[in-house]
Every structure is written in C-alpha cells, then in structure tokens.
C-alpha cells in the first residue's frame, strides 16, 4: 500500500474513479489511527505524553491500493476536496435493476357505508310493585 500526501492521493483517487467508470468499483475507508504500534502507545501513555491521532484514508479498486494519513487540522480541507471528487464522479452510478412485480388488478373498492347506529330501545323496563 502506498502512503501518499493528501493532494496526490486525491488525484490518484480521481484516476481510479475514471478507470472504473464503465465497469468496476472503488472502495474508500476512513479510520482513526495513531500510526504507532501498541508498545509505543503504552510507553507514551506511561510517560504521560499525548498521542496525536490521525485519520487514515484508504482507497482501492481491487488492483491498486493507495492511502493517506491526515492530521486534525488538514482534515476539513481534505474533506471539502474529497467531496468535490465524489460529486464529479457520481454520474457513473447506475440504478439498481429490480425485478418487475406482477401487479394484481384490484377490483374497484366500494366506499364503505358508515355503520348504522343502534336505536335506543323505547320500551321501558316494567317496574313491578
């Protein structure tokens, strides 16, 4: 995997999208990383040093893998540029083909009448004396 700076990464990502326009896919993943091994992280924690986490961005088209690591201050600039690359290559997406559902012709629905209200019984109960 090739670790690039952010601008060359975006230009290479653009090339990947262009190569996969007709056929293929491009996978992009992002994750938080300190870019240090576990042993070094433990030593830094014991000494009380702060660990600077970076954003690791990876992309692959199945043939070629590229990656870049971004600091927190570079992330917003990168995200804006990345969004432009994505928007410019959205035209290559195609709609998913769905199977046609057989539609059953429903008979016309007859409007339901309101249920009749029951009349109060006019017969009074006979009170015996």
Note the pLDDT tens digit of each residue in 25-76.
899 999 988 767 777 767 777 787 777 788 999 999 999 999 999 988 999 9
- Whether pLDDT at 2 is above 90: no
Question: What's the pTM value of the predicted model, to 2 decimals?
Answer: 0.62
Quote the radius of gyration of the chain (alpha carbons, Å): 33
CA distances to 1, 49, 98, 115, 125 from 129, rounded to whole Å, are 104, 100, 79, 40, 13
The length of the chain in residues reads 129
Query: What is the DSSP code string of 35-67?
Result: SS-HHHHHHHHHHTPPP--EEEEEEE-SS-EEE
pLDDT in tens, 38-51: 777 677 777 877 77
Phi and psi at 88, nearest 5°, equal -70, -20
Which two three-digit tokens encode residue 23? 């056929």
DSSP state of 14: H
Give the strand order in the sheet containing 27-33.
Answer: 2-4, 65-70, 54-60, 27-33
Instruction: Give dist(CA 53, CA 59) in Å, integer.
Output: 20
């Amino acid at each position: 995997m090739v670790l690039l700076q952010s601008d060359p990464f975006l230009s290479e990502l653009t090339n990947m999208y262009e190569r996969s326009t007709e056929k293929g896919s491009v996978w992009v993943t992002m994750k938080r990383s300190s870019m240090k091994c576990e042993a070094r992280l433990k030593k830094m924690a014991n000494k009380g040093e702060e660990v600077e986490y970076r954003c690791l961005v990876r992309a692959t088209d199945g043939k070629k893998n590229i990656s870049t690591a971004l600091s927190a201050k570079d992330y917003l600039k990168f995200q804006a540029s990345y969004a432009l690359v994505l928007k410019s290559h959205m035209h290559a997406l195609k709609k998913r083909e769905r199977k046609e559902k057989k539609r059953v012709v429903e008979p016309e629905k007859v409007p339901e009448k309101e249920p009749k209200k029951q009349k109060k019984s006019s017969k009074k109960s006979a009170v015996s004396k």
